[in-house]
Amino acid sequence: MIDPDHDLESALAGLRPRPPGPAVTAALARELDPPVSRRGVILAWTAGVTSVAAALAAGLFLARPAADEAPAYQLVRAEQSPARIEVLRPVRLEDGSFARPVRVRWDNTTQWEDPRTRTRFINYRPNEQTTLLPLETY
Amino acid sequence: MPDAHADQDWRAWFAEHGARLRLIARQWTRSEADADDVVQEAFVRFWKHQRHLPGDPNALVVTSIRRAALDLLRRTDRRGVREKAVAAETETVAWFEPEADPRLQALAQSLPLLPAEQREVVILKVWGALTFEQIGEQLQLSPNTAASRWRYAMEALRKLITARAHD
């Protein structure tokens, strides 16, 4: 049996909701990455425990220098998404001629990884460019 | 508890699904800014407390969005009553990106005009990727009621699009 709502549902699925504002993306990036200050506190605490343990056990591996704890990120991926092109409705320009606005969007994502801790640093950059294509009318 | 999604890159996940999650939030909020706040709060809440849980994270995030939206409505209820009329007049930002196809454009403009109880079923089904059973759980309805609201919404959308075509 053919679902009469199917074509309407497909058309709805073709609509593109507006993305969250850049402030949301920035705020999530801050939340999802552990804050440096907290990490610093943990490292300082760890260093304290380590030094006490080192004094007690005199084990070399427990007295690892703090420099070892610093993350060493290496570039693992850099990619650019395919461009999404939108052809919008023609507009009339000030000189009376017509032009069709065309918007192109693409994203650049670069990822670095610290192989020791497997933590990743991701830079996601959405891009957008709009241009006008002149239309000839007869 | 072991993390069922230990390899998941949640920032990439949000980059992929953020727009549809925001639309889900938008229909339950009074303004664009509120929708952004709700999506942010809901996703952080999910990420902190539920991202380790097994199964599809989508339904959990949608539930988190609904809770955050209801919390915000309760918090701002008094202020909202005063501002509602003003916001309704000043809020001109469309829910969707502009479309070149006039039929899609009419559809995008018609969806916000549906009655709220029909609209939420449509949005949860199409952009929330939920089944009628899951929609029923979200909205505390029977799956049959959800399906029935969907059919009414489809009928109403057809009428709205036809009316716009004749304008």
Q: What is the mean pLDDT of residues A6-25?
A: 89
Q: What is the mean pLDDT of residues A37-47?
A: 53
Place of tokens 């497909």: A10
Q: What is the mean pLDDT of residues B52-75?
A: 90
A9 Cβ under 8 Å from any chain B Cβ: yes
If one compares B5 and A128, the residue with the highest pLDDT of the two is A128
Q: Write out chain A residues lying below 8 Å of B153, CB-based.
A: none
Average pLDDT of chain A, as a whole number: 76
Q: Which residues of A82-100 are buried (b: 16+ CB within 10 A; e: fewer)?
A: eeeebeeeeeeeeeeeeee
Helix (H) or strand (E) holding A6: helix A6-14
Q: Are B10 and A7 in contact (CB under 8 A)?
A: no
Q: State the pLDDT at residue B92.
A: 53
CA–CA separation, A40 vs A36, rounded Å?
A: 6
Q: What is the mean pLDDT of residues A101-126?
A: 85
**Crossing angle of helices B116-126/B10-26, nearest 10°?**
160
Q: B89: distance to nearest CA of chain A, Å?
A: 20
CB nearest A9 (choices: B18, B23, B126): B126
Nearest residue on chain A to B109, judged by CA atoms?
A15
Q: What is the mean pLDDT of residues B74-82?
A: 66
Full DSSP string of A61-96: GGG--GGGGS---EEEEEEEPPPEEEE---EE-TTS
Q: State the pLDDT at residue B85.
A: 47
Nearest by Cα to B31 from A26, A11, A18, A28: A18
Conformational region of residue A80, where left means phi above 0, alpha means psi within -120 to 50, and beta covers everything else? beta
A15 Cβ under 8 Å from any chain B Cβ: yes
Q: State the pLDDT at residue A73.
A: 81
Q: What is the mean pLDDT of residues B46-59?
A: 88
DSSP H helices, chain B, are: 10-26, 32-49, 57-75, 77-90, 102-110, 116-126, 132-139, 143-165
pLDDT tens digit string along B81-125?
A: 555 544 454 455 688 888 888 888 889 989 999 999 999 999 999
Nearest residue on chain A to B98, judged by CA atoms?
A88
Nearest by Cα to B157 from B107, B101, B122: B107
pLDDT at A51 over 80: no
If one compares B120 and A5, the residue with the highest pLDDT of the two is B120
Nearest residue on chain B to A103, judged by CA atoms?
B98
Q: What is the mean pLDDT of residues A16-27?
A: 88
Chain A interface, best mutation among B99, B113, B158, by max A CB count within 10 A = B99
Q: State the pLDDT at residue B69.
A: 93
Q: Write out chain A residues lying below 8 Å of B32, CB-based.
A: 21
Indicate the pTM of the whole model.
0.62
Helix (H) or strand (E) holding B3: none
Q: State the pLDDT at residue A48.
A: 57
Q: State the pLDDT at residue B90.
A: 44
CA–CA separation, A115 vs B123, rounded Å?
A: 41
Domain ranges of chain B: 1-93, 99-167
pLDDT at B75 over 50: yes
Chain A interface, best mutation among B41, B43, B46, B162, by max A CB count within 10 A = B43
Q: State the pLDDT at residue B131.
A: 94
Q: A67: distance to nearest CA of chain B, Å?
A: 27
Q: Which of residues 82-111 of B touch A (CB under 8 A)?
A: 93-100, 103-104, 107-108, 111
What CATH number belongs to B99-167?
1.10.10.10
Q: State the pLDDT at residue A4.
A: 66
Q: State the pLDDT at residue A116.
A: 82
Q: What are the contacts of B41-45 at 24+ separation with CB within 8 A? A: B41/B68, B41/B72, B42/B67, B42/B68, B42/B69, B43/A28, B43/B14, B44/A28, B44/A31
pLDDT tens digit string along A57-104?
A: 555 455 555 555 677 888 777 778 888 888 888 888 888 888 888 888
Output the six-digit token pair for B31. Answer: 């303004």
